[in-house]
């Protein structure tokens, strides 16, 4: 690390110009980069995905896309039991085709009585379409309602609803929210406030100066990746928000150590060089751990998750590069001047309060450990009841018109699962269509079967049939319905492919969570080897990985309590209990939190290792490490939590789930796990903390910590006991 730092200090102008060029180029191309991001959640080689893909090829509609529903109310005296009312409804719903390519299923082409209310005045239709995030479907959904209203005769009222329209919380269709740029600026403002508290000087601006080139350079690299593979739009949010958080965190650690070395009497350049092999190594290890956690997503057989892993991995790597190259140059040129005038006397690297806290943990290690474990376990237990799937339609939309329209249908006996139909692609011609309609209607859990014979639903021997289930796919009953339909139609001549959103999600869960143990094993092993080598201790490495997994359970438990069961989501976001967590969110949360949480473990344990090497006392190592890093870790966690909180201002419930899960997970991990549970466990284990078997030491090419014997040294008597 010293060699890199010296090289940068000897070529300051080159370093500044290089980062300036990358920043400008990244800023100029960021719009192009985000425009190339993919919105697909494809899971190739699964039955549900293949069925939906074949529907798109054959009929131009995306079976995985939740349809739009049109609801029409006729004037008194002209209900659907009159020829005039039927003609009004038929003309109005047919006008939806002006919005773009659609497959319209209504009473006119099905004569299905389930599409008409009991009083005969209200009727509804299903509009299947391409994915609105792809060119064929762009703008189609938004044009449906204007087209219907323009064609509706006098006295006829028309409204639309659907999952796409209501999932923007409280906004209905077309609901807006702050852009990624605004969300990043909100996070940056919060970070600046925390940094002013930490440093009490103009140094507070420096981490943000590091974050700007880190974020824009990452977007530049993402642009390059998009030419090699499809990259999910989720990466856009994560680069902006997580890039801000980790770049600030890494800068915070290095600047704090530089200031500590300055307070010890070293010159400016000597302090920069002294911070490099200590804080600099911790930054590199932290970043590599985060990158390893994200890169583990490539193990899963899902392209969009793999792209999040590749794109997300670039975030900590670029943050490391900017922190260890650009930051030393800034400190060398302007660090002393920026730190000269402090607005707060207590803005030093040492904290007497954290020293007292650490001493209390050492003296009452069993109580502290038990309390920390109790908090984490209590939060983690609800995770055992996690249900993965789409949020319940009833929980979304707030007071929007789209939500009111859906509730109106429900009052007429239409199940909310109408927004998640089962889509069937029948290959056996007219006779097979008749068999499929008959069998599906007889299948328990099916409310209605729509089988129009128009060209939008029939092509040669192929046909598109839509089944409305009684229960949404996020429920066990909804998933069981799909399984029954698949089993019942297995013997139909010509073959039937069963698709729709629920079918694709069922297959997604099987593909992803079936491979999750392998992902968990790989990421744990990588983290174990990295940490064992850095800390020269197998015990600390194992403890770090195990505690990290327990901490992740607390984040999942929060998601279940807050969103699935609704304890807080209604008050904060206006969203009732969702009943489930979107099925890929736990995987994304795991990959990000595993690495991010390990950041703080590394910050604290790296300093404990350093203090132990200096004093030879585990208890003194705990106290010295927390006195120097306690405030750093909590402030870093607050900054990252603020960054994710800014992301939760997006009006999409899925983005809000990700943001709150990550933000709360980071905060609980830093405040409860790393500054209470971890030091208590280290105090309990005493000198067992520093055990490294000889064989592993040779494999990792590091020095032993416990003498020649592979057994740990005897545990010393606790300090002050």
Distance CA 638, CA 649 (A): 17
Task: Kindly report whether the global pTM for this prediction surpasses the value 0.85.
Answer: no
Percent of the chain at pLDDT > 90 equals 51
Residue 331 lies in a domain: yes
Residue 311 lies in a domain: yes
381-418 pLDDT per residue, tens? 999 999 988 888 877 766 788 889 999 999 999 999 99
370-386 pLDDT per residue, tens? 999 999 999 999 999 99
Cβ 15 vs Cβ 325: under 8 Å = yes
How many angstroms from the chain centroid is the CA of residue 11? 39
Residue 480 lies in a domain: no
Q: Could you tell me which residues come within 8 angstroms of residue 4 by beta carbon, excluding any fewer than 6 positions away?
A: 276, 324, 325
Cβ 686 vs Cβ 680: under 8 Å = no
The per-residue pLDDT for 345 is 63
Residue 29 lies in a domain: yes
- Domain residue limits at 29: 1-35+201-343
Mean pLDDT of 324-330: 95
Mean pLDDT of 603-630: 89
Over 60: is that where the pLDDT of 188 sits? yes
Over 60: is that where the pLDDT of 172 sits? no
Over 50: is that where the pLDDT of 5 sits? yes
- pLDDT: is 603 or 346 the higher one? 603
Mean pLDDT of 437-463: 96
- pLDDT: is 646 or 109 the higher one? 109
Cβ 528 vs Cβ 541: under 8 Å = yes
Residue 132 lies in a domain: no
Over 50: is that where the pLDDT of 259 sits? yes
Confidence category of residue 281, pLDDT binned at 50, 70, 90? confident
Cβ 683 vs Cβ 718: under 8 Å = yes
Beta pairing class for 422-426 and 496-500? antiparallel
Residue 216 lies in a domain: yes
Separation of first and last alpha carbons in the chain: 39
Distance CA 256, CA 207 (A): 11
- pLDDT: is 439 or 474 the higher one? 439
464-509 pLDDT per residue, tens? 999 999 999 889 999 999 999 999 999 999 999 999 999 999 998 8
How many angstroms from the chain centroid is the CA of residue 395? 20
Could you give phi then psi for residue 90, rounded to 5 degrees? -65, -45
Distance CA 230, CA 39 (A): 9
Domain count, the chain: 1
Cβ 196 vs Cβ 206: under 8 Å = no
647-702 pLDDT per residue, tens? 777 667 888 888 888 888 888 888 888 889 999 999 999 989 998 888 888 888 77
Residue 283 lies in a domain: yes
The per-residue pLDDT for 698 is 85
Cβ 586 vs Cβ 564: under 8 Å = no
**What's the CATH code of the domain at 213?**
1.20.1640.10
Mean pLDDT of 212-223: 95
Confidence category of residue 715, pLDDT binned at 50, 70, 90? very low
Strand, coil or helix: 161 = strand
Q: Three-state SS string across 526-562, please?
A: HHHHHHHHHHCCHHHHHHHHHHHHHHHHHHHHHHHHH
- pLDDT: is 178 or 507 the higher one? 507
Residue 110 lies in a domain: no
Q: Three-state SS string across 474-532, please?
A: CCHHHHHHHHHHHHHCCCCCCCEEEEEHHHHHHHHHHHHHHHHHHHHHHHHHHHHHHHH
Confidence category of residue 347, pLDDT binned at 50, 70, 90? low
What average pLDDT does the structure give for the chain?
A: 88
CA distances from 79 to 89, 390, 708 (A): 10, 35, 92
12-55 pLDDT per residue, tens? 999 999 999 999 999 999 999 998 998 888 788 889 999 999 99
What is the maximal distance between C-alpha atoms in the chain? Answer: 96
- DSSP annotation of 391: P
* Lowest mean pLDDT across 293-297, 324-328, 613-617: 293-297
């Amino acid at each position: 690390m010293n060699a890199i730092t010296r090289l940068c200090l000897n070529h300051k102008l080159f370093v500044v110009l290089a980062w300036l060029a990358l920043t400008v180029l990244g800023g100029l191309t960021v719009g192009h980069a985000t425009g190339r991001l993919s919105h697909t959640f494809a899971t190739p080689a699964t039955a549900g995905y293949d069925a939906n893909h074949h529907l798109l090829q054959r009929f131009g509609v995306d079976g995985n896309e939740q349809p739009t529903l049109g609801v029409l109310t006729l004037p008194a005296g002209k209900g659907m039991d009159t020829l005039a009312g039927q003609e009004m409804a038929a003309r109005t719903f047919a006008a939806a085709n002006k919005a773009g390519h659609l497959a319209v299923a209504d009473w006119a082409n099905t004569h299905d009585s389930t599409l008409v209310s009991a009083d005969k005045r209200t009727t509804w239709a299903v509009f299947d379409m391409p994915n609105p995030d792809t060119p064929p479907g762009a703008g189609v959904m938004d044009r449906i309602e204007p087209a219907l209203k323009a064609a509706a005769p006098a006295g006829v009222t028309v409204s639309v609803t659907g999952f796409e329209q209501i999932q923007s919380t409280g906004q209905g269709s077309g609901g807006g929210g702050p852009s990624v740029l605004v969300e990043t600026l909100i996070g940056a403002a919060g970070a600046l406030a925390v940094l002013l508290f930490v440093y009490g000087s103009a140094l507070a601006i420096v981490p943000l100066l590091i974050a700007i080139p880190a974020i824009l350079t990452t977007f530049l690299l993402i642009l390059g990746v998009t030419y090699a593979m499809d990259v999910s739009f989720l990466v856009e949010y994560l680069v902006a928000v997580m890039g801000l958080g980790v770049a600030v965190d890494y800068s915070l650690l290095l600047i704090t150590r530089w200031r500590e070395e300055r307070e010890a009497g070293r010159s400016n350049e000597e302090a920069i060089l002294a911070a490099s092999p200590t804080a600099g190594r911790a930054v590199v290890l932290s970043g590599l751990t985060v990158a390893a956690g994200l890169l583990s997503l490539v193990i899963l057989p899902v392209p969009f998750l793999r792209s999040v892993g590749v794109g997300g991995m670039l975030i900590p790597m670029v943050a490391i590069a900017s922190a260890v190259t650009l930051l030393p140059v800034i400190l060398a040129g302007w660090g002393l001047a920026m730190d000269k005038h402090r607005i707060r006397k207590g803005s030093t690297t040492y904290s007497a309060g954290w020293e007292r806290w650490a001493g209390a943990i050492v003296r009452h290690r069993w109580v502290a450990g038990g309390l920390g474990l109790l908090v984490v376990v209590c939060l983690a237990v609800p995770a055992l009841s996690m249900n993965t799937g789409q949020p319940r339609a009833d929980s979304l939309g707030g007071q929007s018109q789209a939500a009111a329209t859906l509730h109106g249908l429900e009052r007429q006996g239409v199940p909310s699962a109408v927004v998640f139909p089962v889509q069937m692609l029948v290959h056996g011609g007219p006779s097979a269509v008749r068999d499929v309609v008959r069998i599906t209607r007889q299948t328990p859990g099916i409310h209605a079967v729509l089988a129009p014979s128009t060209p939008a639903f029939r092509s040669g021997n192929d046909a598109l049939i839509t089944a409305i289930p009684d229960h949404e796919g996020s429920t066990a009953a909804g998933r069981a319905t799909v399984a029954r339909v698949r089993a019942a139609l297995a013997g139909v001549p010509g073959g039937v492919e069963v698709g729709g959103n629920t079918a694709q999600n069922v297959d997604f869960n099987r593909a992803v969570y079936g491979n999750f143990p392998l992902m968990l094993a790989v990421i744990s092993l990588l983290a174990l080897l990295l940490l064992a080598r850095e800390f020269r201790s197998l015990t600390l490495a194992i403890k770090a990985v195990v505690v990290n997994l327990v901490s992740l359970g607390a984040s999942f438990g929060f998601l279940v309590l807050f969103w699935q069961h609704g304890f807080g989501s209604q008050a904060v976001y206006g969203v009732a209990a969702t009943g489930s967590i979107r099925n890929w969110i736990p995987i994304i949360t795991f990959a990000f939190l595993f690495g991010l949480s390990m950041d703080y473990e590394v910050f604290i344990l790296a300093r404990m290792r350093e203090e132990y090497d200096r004093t030879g006392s585990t208890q003194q190592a705990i106290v010295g490490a927390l006195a120097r890093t306690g405030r750093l870790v909590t402030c870093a966690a607050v900054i990252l939590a603020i960054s994710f909180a800014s992301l939760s201002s997006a009006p999409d419930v899925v983005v809000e789930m990700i943001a709150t899960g990550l933000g709360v997970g980071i905060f609980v991990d830093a405040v409860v796990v790393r500054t209470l549970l971890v030091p208590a466990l280290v105090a309990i284990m005493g000198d067992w903390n520093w055990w490294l078997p000889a064989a592993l030491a040779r494999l990792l090419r590091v020095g032993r910590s416990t003498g020649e014997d592979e057994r740990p040294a005897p545990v010393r008597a606790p300090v002050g006991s």
